[in-house]
Amino acid sequence: MDLDKLYLYASNNALSEATLALFIEQPLVKLEEFELLLQEELKELFQEFKLQSSKTVSVSKNDISVKDNISGFQMNGYENGKKRWLIQAKPTHPYYSLSIHCLLYKGWSDYKETLLNILKKISTLRKGIFTRALSLTYVDQFNWLEEEFPNTDIIFKESDFIPKSILNSKKPWQFGLEINNNRTYKYKDSLEYLDKIDAFIRKIDNANYNIVLIHNTVCEIKEIETIENLLSQQNFTEHLDFAHNNNKKIIKSILKNEVLEKMGIKINTDA
* Tens digit of each residue's pLDDT (9 = 90 or more) over 249-268: 989 988 999 999 988 888 87
- Cβ contact 229:129 at 8 Å: no
Mean pLDDT over the full length of the chain: 85
- What is the length of the chain? 271
pLDDT at 146: 87
State the Cα torsion 177-179-182-188 to the nearest 10°. -160
Kindly state the average pLDDT of the residues 28-48: 92
Do the Cβ atoms of 249 and 267 come closer than 8 Å?
no
Residue type, 5: K
Q: What are phi and psi of 149, to 5 degrees?
A: -85, 135
Q: Are 201 and 195 in contact (CB under 8 A)?
A: no
**pLDDT for 223:** 82
Share of the chain above pLDDT 90, in %: 48
Higher-confidence residue: 209 or 69?
A: 209
Report the relative pairing of strands 95-102 and 173-179 from DSSP bridges.
Answer: unpaired
Note the pLDDT of residue 259.
92
pLDDT band at 243 (very low <50, low <70, confident <90, very high): very high
Cα–Cα distance, 225 to 25 (Å, whole number): 10
Confidence bin at 90 (pLDDT 50/70/90):
very high
